Structure 1
Amino acid sequence: MSVRDEGRQAIRKLKPGRLVIASHNAGKVREIRDLLAPYGIDAVSAAELDLPEPEETGTTFVANAELKAMQAADLSGLPALADDSGLCVDALNGDPGVYTANWAETPNGRDWNLAMQKVEDALSTKGPDASRDAHFVCVLALAWPDGHVEWFEGRAEGRLTWPPRGTVGFGYDPVFVPHGHERSYAELDPAEKHAISHRADAFRQLVSAVF
């Protein structure tokens, strides 16, 4: 159960040592591992431990992040950090949102170029004056094997661009231009993205609370 469901008990501190990044997404694992490195955390991914990917049955970012973190912690016997994140487009009533990865699903795996095209096609049906405002949400859930969970939500505002630009990053990064910038996430140096991203925002909160 989340600590927020238990009356907001004191946040548990995370000690240096081994931790599971509960993801099979290589780009996401690399980004989180880079963020954890300065804090004495020996991060190993769920894929490296051959842990199964749980079915994401939650209808919110928090629910899915907690589900993934709790399963990884239970199966590994280690603290586990999971991320659930997504692109929310204003003109599409927040879609793809919590179903961000579903828009990329194909019989042969995830195709992010297809997902970006789906977003653009959906926007085109709204007319030439449709808002291209969007934001990314990231929820980081940190779980321990005894079932204790903490979560932290970050957000990054921006706008969509088309066609996709840049080769750095992953997912919808090539079509998202964060506010205050002219380059897409996929055109930014990783260090620049780490400083301003939705994941970085959530991570700053996590660091302040548990380290």
Structure 2
Amino acid sequence: MTIGFVTGNANKFAEARAIVPELEMLEMDLPEIQEIDAQAIIGAKLAEAVRRMPGRELVVEDTSLSLKCLNGLPGPLIKWFLQAMGPRGLYEIASKFSETRATARTMIGYMDGAGAVRFFEGTVAGSIVVPRGATKFGWDPVFRPSGHLKTFAEMTREEKNAISMRRQAFAGLKAFLDGR
């Protein structure tokens, strides 16, 4: 049995498949509604994915970054904030407000072949810092998880994956799949 993980990002897929080996990467360009509620975004993505591939077990994912100084924004809108201002701009906003706390969040939605949907979430608390390290993920250079000295971008893949919000969310999915 394979479960289609709709993503075009090979790094995300590798991290997820290390936890849920049943995953198969499905590259499909899904429209993403602009919304603060991650469950609404995931629900819309799943609805479109199942419209294109009816009867398949599917997984979609949304990762967000919420800044305390902006009352949770950009959240799921992080992609657009990064396009407009880059990681350095996120740092400058947080430092101007003198409030650097942030939460990285991954929400995944799983739809079984009958259309039932379940959500799984992982979160990592941290802070926004001066950009450090190279990355393949947009805001990794400015996010330093609580209790760590390195930003996500400075960590090895193994270090990041051991504590990541994506790992937590996919571990929840794995536990669910193993228990059914």
Q: Is the 8 A contact 1:140 1:151 kept in 2?
A: yes
Residue 173 (1) aligns with residue 140 (2):
yes
Task: Quote the Cα distance in structure 1 between the aligned partners of 2:83 and 2:7.
Answer: 16
Distance 1:62 1:68, change over 3 A: same
Task: Quote the Cα distance in structure 1 between the aligned partners of 2:157 and 2:46.
Answer: 25
What's the C-alpha RMSD, in Å, of the aligned pairs?
2.0
CA deviations over 1:155-207 (Å, ceiling 9, x no partner): 10111110x22224412111111111101111112222122111112122222
Task: Quote the Cα distance in structure 1 between the aligned partners of 2:88 and 2:166.
Answer: 23
Distance 1:156 1:69, change over 3 A: same
Task: Quote the Cα distance in structure 2 between the aligned partners of 1:210 and 1:18.
Answer: 12
1:54-69 superposed matches below 5 A: 54-69=31-46
Pairing partner for 1:74 from 51, 75, 78: 51
Q: Is the 8 A contact 1:157 1:178 kept in 2?
A: yes
Distance 1:204 1:65, change over 3 A: same
Q: Aligned AA for 2:73? A: D
Where do 5+ consecutive residues of structure 2 fail to align? Answer: none
Offset, 1:32: 2.0
Counterpart in 2 of 1:44? Answer: 25
Q: Which runs of 4+ in 1 moved over 4 A?
A: none
Task: Quote the Cα distance in structure 1 between the aligned partners of 2:99 and 2:50.
Answer: 41
Q: TM-score, normalised by structure 2?
A: 0.86
**Structure label with greater radius of gyration:** 1
Counterpart in 2 of 1:83? Answer: 61
Counterpart in 2 of 1:121? Answer: 92
Identical residues among aligned pairs (%): 27
